[in-house]
Amino acid sequence: MSFQIIASIFSIIGFLWGIRLIFKFRNKLGYGLFVSITFLIGFLFLQNPDLTSVVAHYLGIDRGADLLSYIHLLVFVFSVFMFYLKLEKQKRQISILTRELAIKNSQTKS
């Protein structure tokens, strides 16, 4: 199998996963849309590689490869930010649970 076929299958699966996020988890609408659109654009670029150059020139970027690098960087930064937000939420939840357990344990000892 060629890389284009394997990557296209991966893109379709990613797109469907994003659609699933939208319909299954209503609170993840923005994230699901982002995932779906990202994989859809990746699929379109895989099917028509010259499209990257056309879009790049329209955006004022010299080469399509540079456009893909910039998109990759933006997706990476977004992903890191989302992981950071999730980690902060977990830290807050752990703090709340620890506080509640400490209060509950101190009341049972008294």
C-alpha count within 13 angstroms, C-beta hemisphere, residue 16: 6
Most distant CA pair in the chain, distance: 74
For residue 87, the number of C-alpha atoms closer than 13 Å in the C-beta half-sphere is 6
- pLDDT for 22-48, tens place per residue? 888 777 777 788 888 888 888 888 888
pLDDT in tens, 39-98: 888 888 888 888 889 999 999 999 988 888 898 898 889 889 989 999 999 999 999 999
pLDDT of res. 71: 87
Domains of the chain, by residue range, sit at 3-81
pLDDT of residue 26: 72
As a whole number of angstroms, the distance between CA 52 and CA 96 comes to: 48
Q: Which residue has the tokens 């659109």?
A: 37
- Give me the pLDDT at residue 35, please: 82
pTM above 0.85, yes or no: no
Contacts 24+ apart (CB under 8 A), 15-24: 15/39, 15/40, 15/43
